[in-house]
């Protein structure tokens, strides 16, 4: 059996976040006024991303609760083997939900309507918000990849257990003959 590792999902999430950050930075150096305009237009898209992450992570938590209650994990050694993996996925989902709600609350501050910031500060705010959005999206991708790996390992472990049980049954039948 393959040991469950968070290295690949987390690395995939980090690579995605870096790629998104690099893509937004390669659009070129923008002025403070352009950052003000882009902040006004991109905040709705980032809000939508946060809503998707919140809903998706809540749904993932519900799936994990269901997975812990199904018959496959009623077998004690399977439950103990995968409990920590599922707990770590639940922790990441909870962290993403809290972070997304925080970003949503911060986006409700009317940055573009206030005149207390200089245009150079809008540049910093814009790139900070894009960086946080990239990190949230990368975390969501890592979470989905971790779920896939966990379910794949549970299924492959269960299949291996079934083949062992079938072999034991055929051995018992041959001994009875």
Q: Confirm whether 11 is domain-assigned.
A: no
Q: Confirm whether 74 is domain-assigned.
A: yes
Q: Confirm whether 26 is domain-assigned.
A: no
Q: Confirm whether 173 is domain-assigned.
A: no
29 touches 143 (CB < 8 A): no
Distance CA 113, CA 7 (A): 43
Closest C-alpha to 96, from 147, 60, 145: 60
Give the tens place of pLDDT for each residue, 27-82.
656 655 677 777 777 888 888 988 999 999 999 888 888 777 765 555 666 666 77
Distance CA 69, CA 87 (A): 14
pTM (2 d.p.)? 0.73
Q: How many domains does the chain have?
A: 1
Q: Which domain holds residue 119?
A: 34-162
């Amino acid at each position: 059996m393959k040991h469950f590792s968070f290295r690949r999902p987390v690395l995939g999430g980090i690579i995605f976040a870096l790629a998104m950050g690099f893509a937004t930075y390669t659009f070129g150096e923008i002025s403070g006024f352009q950052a003000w305009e882009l902040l006004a237009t991109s905040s709705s898209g980032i809000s939508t991303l946060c809503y998707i992450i919140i809903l998706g992570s809540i749904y993932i938590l519900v799936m994990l609760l269901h997975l812990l209650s199904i018959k496959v994990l009623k077998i004690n050694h399977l439950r103990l083997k995968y409990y920590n993996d599922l707990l770590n996925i639940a922790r990441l989902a909870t962290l993403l939900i809290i972070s997304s709600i925080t970003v949503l609350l911060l986006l409700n501050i009317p940055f573009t309507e206030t005149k207390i910031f200089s245009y150079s500060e809008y540049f910093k705010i814009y790139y900070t918000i894009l960086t946080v959005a990239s990190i949230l999206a990368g975390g969501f991708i890592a979470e989905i990849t971790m779920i896939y790996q966990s379910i794949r390992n549970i299924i492959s472990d269960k299949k291996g257990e079934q083949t062992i049980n079938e072999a034991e049954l055929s051995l018992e039948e041959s001994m009875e003959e």
